[in-house]
Amino acid sequence: MSAAVKPSTGGDVAAFIASVGLHAALLAVPILASLWGRPRSAPLDTRPNSIAMVGNSIEVEAPTPEVADTPAAAAAEVTPVDVKSLPVEAAVESAVKPAPEHTSRPDVDATATAPPAMPAPSPLHRKTPPKRTPTSEAASASGAEAATLGAPAAGTFGQEGLAPGVRRLGYAFTRAIPAATPADAAWRELPAGRVGTVRIELAVDENNHLGELKHWQAHPGEAPPPAVLERMVERTILLLRAGQFALSGSNQPGSERIVIDVTLRDDDADEDASDNVVNKGFDGATPGHPGRAHFRYGTGRSFEAKVTIVSSGR
C-alpha cells in the first residue's frame, strides 16, 4: 500500500491571504481612479455674509452693501413678468431686461382710457346774479345814505368839509338829552301826560363852539315853558359845552332853532321798582327828520322828548 501525502496547512493559508489581497487590489483600483478624477469641492465659507449650506444645495452669497442700500421703492417699480406664459427666448430676455414703465399700443385709442368728462352743470343749479333795476339801485343808495346820516361819529353824518371831532348840532343835542336829564327828580313826581314845549335857539361860531342860548316864541304873548323843561335844556347844553359842533344844515357859522316837546308815561313797574334808569336811547334829529330821546325808570315812569329842527342857518 502506498501512503497518502497530507498537504501542508501553512501553505494553504498563505495562498488564501494572497488571493484575498489580489481581489481587494482589483476592486480598489477603479474606486481610486474615480476618486482621483472627481473635482474637489470648495471649502465651507465661514465669512459672516455667507449663507452656504452643506449637501445637495446651492451656495448663495449675501447681498453686497450696495444692493442692501438700494431703497425698497426701486425694487417695487419692476413690473413682474409671468415667465411660464412666454416662449423660452422671451422668458430669458424678460429675466435679463426689466419691463418698461409705460407701453403704448398703436391699435388702442388713447381716448379709451381717458377719464370721462364731467357733465356741464344743469341750468337749474346755476346761480344767476340778481338783476339790478333802477328802483333797487335807488333803494340801495337811499339805504346807504340813511346809514350815513344816522351815524353818531364825527365826519360821517353829512359833514363834508368838517374838521375831525365836529358834530352836527341837532343830532348831538338829541343824543345828550337822555344822558343829562334823568338826574332831575321832578320827572318821577310830575303827573303823566304832556309836560309842554320849549323853543330854543343855539348859535355856532367860526371855531365850532356853542354861543349864547336864546328862547323864542311861536307867537307873541306865548306862556313861558315849564321850569322843568328849562332845566332840561340847561343840563343838556352844559353837557355839550366842551364839544365842537356845526349847524345841521350848513358848515358856516350861524344859529339853529329847535323845538322840544316832552311827554311822560307810566308803564308797568319792574320787580324791584327802583328809581334807577333801566333803559334809554335816542334817534338823532336832522333837517326834515324829527329826532327822539327817551329813558325809563324802574318804577315804570317813561320820558320821551321829540326834537324838531325848525331852521338852520344865518
| Ranges in the chain, pLDDT < 50 | 1-6, 49-53, 67, 72-76, 90-92, 94-96, 102-104, 106, 108-112, 123-125, 133-159
* Predicted local confidence at residue 11, as pLDDT: 63
Look up residue 129 and give its three cell numbers. 346774479
- Within its chain, how far is the Cα of 33 from the centroid? 92
Q: Which residue is it, cell 493559508?
A: 13
Q: Which helix (H) or strand (E) segment is 12 a member of?
A: helix 9-37
Residue matched to cell numbers 465651507: 44
Evaluate if pTM is beyond 0.95: no
pLDDT attached to residue 77: 52
CA pair distance 22, 20, nearest whole angstrom = 5
pLDDT of residue 14: 74
Rg (CA), the chain: 60
- Which class for 171: exposed (0-12), middle (13-18), buried (19 or more C-beta within 10 A)? buried
Contact 248, 284 (CB under 8 A): no
Strand partners, 215: 200
Q: What is the pLDDT of residues 212-247, one digit of tens each?
A: 999 999 999 899 999 999 999 999 999 999 999 999
Q: What is the pLDDT of residue 23?
A: 72
